[in-house]
């Protein structure tokens, strides 16, 4: 399997420089083979008909990628009407979707219910709202198992310092509200946070959720969440998540639980990053090199409007320098700070990074940019969001979203 952008085959019949010449920079490039491989890995995590994978759309909602993910047999999670709308356009059936709401209006819930999609609520007040708009309906409850995980405090979504989920201690209140509105609790779900490379907190979370789940006799599914990490420091030897180890532990816990529960229940996971991160690379061009006092800045068109993660979470993405279409050897390194073209001092892609000596005109490839890359892009500074292309299985490439145009910036005015 080819999952390495350092490998020329990642680029199909092309190379990063040719792609930029053809489609402009910055540019998101996705590799179909990698994407399909990651979908298969997740689908094969547990070999049971009761197991399924809900792709977490927020990681990357390009419709062409959604179609591939659907073609690989995954279902999906949605967090907004927009995501539901696009998932349906990509061919997903409402029954394949789970909507995981957080602080949403009754109107939004009505939209979701009207589209035949199961709703998960994550507070007692949202359960009340749901009861009022859909008395007698089916609902899933997002619990907060009390343990969180994640690569940064901003993405830890369980435990006692987050807005998400209902603590298990409020289980009786959940039941009382459900009874008042004759609601059927068909699912329990959780998501403890984003990016773990050590499965321990995830397993702890699963155990905690299952203890709660056993107290609901009408379950159709238990959704144990996403968060499966990828090794962003891949060129520095960071190890992959041990999926086989995780699978063995999960299998044992779930089978045991089903025995106690007395019947089989569907089990879902909700990976976003794991499915799409490694299939995507963000390409950009070096436009200036300067030394400001003691810091050497590599100035590029890869602003924080096109990749927010480094600014928002101090996230690390490997950067590979290409000249004349080939990657430069990384033996010779100098310490530089790679910045974008946005009017903020915080617009930093990589601080104090050891990089091959770079020249103006070189191409930079930001690896593992497929998840929370384009989906967090903005038009800040009225910069145009980049194009996205797909390197297809046959080695060709296809434009799957055009770059914004200046006219797009006028689209919502009267």
Q: Using CB under 6 A, list all residues that contact ligand LLP.
A: 56, 58-59, 77, 100, 155, 157, 191, 194-195, 225-228, 270-274, 309, 313, 372
Specify the DSSP element, H or E, that contains 120: strand 118-121
- Residue 108: CB atoms within 10 A of its CB come to 17
Q: In Å, how far are 113, 141, 165, 393 from 277, measured between CA atoms?
A: 31, 28, 26, 18
Q: Is-catalytic flag, 39?
A: no
Q: Among residues 262, 294, 331, 343, which one is catalytic? A: 343
Cα R_g (the chain), whole angstroms: 22
| Residue with smaller CB distance to ligand LLP, 15 or 234 | 234
Nearest C-alpha neighbor of 58 from the set 189, 201, 226: 226
Least distance CB 187 / ligand LLP (angstroms): 13
| Residue with smaller CB distance to ligand LLP, 42 or 185 | 42
Number of separate helices (H) and strands (E) present in the chain: 11, 19
Least distance CB 56 / ligand LLP (angstroms): 4
| Residue with smaller CB distance to ligand LLP, 191 or 397 | 191
Strands 166-167 and 184-189, how do they pair?
unpaired
The C-alpha atoms of residue 98 and residue 226 are separated, in whole angstroms, by: 13
Q: Give the CA count within 13 Å in the CB-facing half-sphere of 282.
A: 30
Say if CB 16 and CB 285 are below 8 A apart.
Answer: no
Nearest C-alpha neighbor of 70 from the set 38, 109, 96, 37: 96
| Residue with smaller CB distance to ligand LLP, 327 or 386 | 386
Assign residue 273 a region: left if phi > 0, alpha if psi is -120 to 50, beta otherwise? alpha
State both tokens at 204. 């702890």
Least distance CB 189 / ligand LLP (angstroms): 8
Nearest C-alpha neighbor of 330 from the set 353, 360, 347, 303: 353
| Residue with smaller CB distance to ligand LLP, 118 or 356 | 118
Cα 376–Cα 378–Cα 379 angle in degrees, nearest 5? 170
Least distance CB 64 / ligand LLP (angstroms): 19
The C-alpha atoms of residue 403 and residue 23 are separated, in whole angstroms, by: 9
| Residue with smaller CB distance to ligand LLP, 388 or 397 | 388
First to last CA, the chain: 50
Which residue in the block uniquely carries the two structure tokens 């609790």? 185
**Omega within 30 of 0 (cis) for the link into 26:** yes
| Residue with smaller CB distance to ligand LLP, 59 or 365 | 59
If 0-12 CB within 10 Å is exposed, 13-18 middle and 19+ buried, where does residue 146 land? middle
Nearest C-alpha neighbor of 289 from the set 346, 356, 237, 228: 356
Strands 97-100 and 334-339, how do they pair?
unpaired
| Residue with smaller CB distance to ligand LLP, 123 or 363 | 123
Least distance CB 334 / ligand LLP (angstroms): 28
Least distance CB 262 / ligand LLP (angstroms): 28
Annotated catalytic residues are 343
């Amino acid at each position: 399997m080819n999952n390495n952008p350092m490998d020329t085959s990642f680029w199909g019949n092309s190379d990063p420089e040719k792609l930029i010449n053809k489609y402009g920079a910055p540019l998101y490039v996705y590799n179909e083979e990698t994407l399909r491989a990651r979908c298969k890995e997740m689908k094969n995590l547990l070999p049971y008909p009761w197991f399924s994978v809900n792709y977490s759309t927020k990681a990357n909602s390009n419709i062409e990628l959604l179609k591939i993910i659907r073609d690989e047999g995954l279902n999906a999670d949605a967090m907004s009407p927009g995501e539901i709308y696009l998932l349906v356009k990509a061919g997903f059936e409402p029954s394949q979707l789970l909507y995981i709401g957080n602080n949403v209006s009754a109107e939004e819930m009505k939209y979701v219910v009207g589209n035949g999609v199961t709703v998960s609520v994550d507070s007692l007040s949202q359960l009340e709202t749901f009861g009022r708009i859909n008395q007698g309906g089916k609902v899933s409850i997002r619990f907060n198992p009390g343990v969180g995980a994640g690569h940064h405090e901003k993405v830890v979504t369980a435990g006692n310092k987050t807005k998400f989920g209902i603590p298990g201690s409020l289980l009786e209140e959940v039941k009382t509200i459900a009874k008042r509105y004759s609601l059927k609790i068909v699912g329990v779900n959780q998501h403890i946070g984003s990016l773990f490379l050590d499965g321990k907190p995830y397993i702890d979370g699963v155990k905690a959720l299952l203890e709660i789940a056993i107290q609901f006799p009408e379950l159709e599914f238990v959704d144990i969440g996403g968060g499966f990490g990828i090794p962003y420091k891949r060129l520095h030897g960071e190890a992959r998540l041990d999926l086989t180890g995780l699978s063995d532990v999960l299998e044992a816990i779930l089978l045991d639980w089903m025995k106690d529960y007395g019947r089989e229940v569907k089990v879902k996971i909700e990976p976003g990053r794991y499915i799409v991160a490694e299939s995507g690379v963000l390409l950009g061009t070096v436009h200036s090199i300067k030394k400001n006092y003691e810091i050497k800045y590599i100035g590029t068109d890869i602003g924080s409007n096109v990749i927010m993660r480094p600014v928002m979470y101090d996230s690390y993405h490997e950067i590979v320098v290409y000249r004349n279409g080939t990657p430069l050897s990384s033996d010779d390194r100098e310490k530089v700070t790679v910045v974008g073209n946005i009017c903020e001092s915080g617009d930093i892609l990589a601080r104090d990074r050891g990089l091959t000596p770079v020249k103006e005109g070189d191409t930079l490839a930001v690896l593992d940019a497929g998840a929370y890359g384009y989906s967090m892009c903005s038009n800040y500074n009225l910069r145009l969001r980049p194009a996205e292309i797909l390197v297809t299985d046959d080695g060709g490439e296809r434009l799957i979203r055009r770059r914004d145009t200046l006219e797009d910036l006028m689209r919502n005015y009267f």
